[in-house]
Amino acid sequence: MALLRVDQLKVYYPVRSGLLRRTVDYVKAVDGLSFELQHGETYGLVGESGCGKTTAGRTMIGLIRATAGEIHLEGDRIDRLSGRALSRYRRDVQMIFQDPYSSLNPRKRVLDIIAEPLRNFERLSPQEERRKVRDFVERVGLHPDSVYKYPHEFSGGQRQRIGIARALTLNPKLIIADEPVSSLDVSVQAQVLNFMKDIQREFRLTYLLISHDLGIIRHMCDRIGIMYRGRLVEEGTRDDIFEQPQHIYARRLVAAIPNPNPRQRDAQRERRLQVEREYEQLREQSFDREGKPHPLKRLTESHSAALL
Ligand SMILES: Nc1ncnc2c1ncn2[C@@H]1O[C@H](COP(=O)(O)OP(=O)(O)OP(=O)(O)O)[C@@H](O)[C@H]1O
Ligand SMILES: [Mg+2]
């Protein structure tokens, strides 16, 4: 069974106007998104700004209510959970946030920041709690005495490790990481990403990695879903997406990745222009009347694209 199954998810934000704040329209941020996460994999949700990635992630963790559609965690619909099952879900799915500068409370010590989720779920003595937090801080590569410091005493990369330690304490199954390194210096990005890979095996984690950066997605993900205007336009393994993109939108994204090899730059530029011309020609037929992707069509066992 899939760890997480998202089926025809829709999240519409009301647009209100006038004195009575009546709803005059909706922003269809997520509009028919479906995919599955298998245990232990890293699934990348990639797409341009505003395509609905963050909204989708926050709905999966229960921060936003779905307008329609279903989300199942190990077979159970998350909007129907209550009691112990709800508490279990809140432990099993954790999030790593984009900005380690604003997501850690500046007035709290690292000990209290990391212990907070533990305090919500477990009754530990102060000594047990401190031991556990020091242990996690050490496992994310910081000195155990860091627990007595405040967030401003750390670098961005270290802060993101603190955010990761906080997400790990409840031994989650799924971590949703929304642009986890985009606020970090490029030199630190790889470090944090590689660290996420290292702990994946140790903690048997499944990742949903949300990013607009195809380089990061390629480095990290086993399978990838390309999102466009609230739904998937293509889905496949890393090879499917980067070697054989099928939808013109996906081909355009992949063609735009800068090639580090200077000798291939001219050839790549030529290819990019070619894809750009095709995109102009095919644009109309490649999307439905609302300008959104058609339903996904299965091309191979692993690869699907929104082709007619
Ligand atoms: N709270 C909100 N109220 C109304 N509209 C919203 C709200 N949050 C997001 N939106 C709109 O929903 C759409 C999707 O936004 P979302 O933040 O999910 O995109 P994203 O893919 O994460 O973009 P980015 O790459 O810039 O982070 C956008 O059009 C956005 O303006
Ligand atoms: Mg976002």
pLDDT one-digit tens code per residue, 149-179: 999 999 988 998 899 999 999 999 999 999 9
**172 in contact with ligand 1, CB cutoff 6 A:** no
The pLDDT mean for the chain works out to 93
pTM above 0.85, yes or no: yes
127: CA distance to ligand 2 center in Å?
Answer: 38
Please classify residue 173 by burial: count the beta carbons closer than 10 Å to its beta carbon, then call 0-12 exposed, 13-18 middle and 19+ buried.
Answer: buried
All CATH 3.40.50.300 domain ranges in the chain, comma separated = 4-15+25-229
Please classify residue 159 by burial: count the beta carbons closer than 10 Å to its beta carbon, then call 0-12 exposed, 13-18 middle and 19+ buried.
Answer: buried
pLDDT at 185 over 80: yes
Least Cα distance to 196 among 96, 46, 58 occurs for 96
Q: Position 43: which residue type?
A: Y
Ligand 1 pocket test, candidate residues 28, 53, 210, 229, most atoms within 8 A of CB: 53
Report whether 224 contacts 241 (CB < 8 A): yes
Confidence of residue 232 (pLDDT cuts 50, 70, 90): very high
Q: What percent of the chain has pLDDT over 90?
A: 79
Report whether 121 contacts 91 (CB < 8 A): yes
CATH architecture, domain 4-15+25-229? 3-Layer(aba) Sandwich (3.40)
- CA 158 to CA 144: how far, in whole Å? 13
Provide mean pLDDT across the span 220-246.
97
Residues within 5 Å of ion ligand 2 by Cβ?
54
**54 in contact with ligand 1, CB cutoff 6 A:** yes
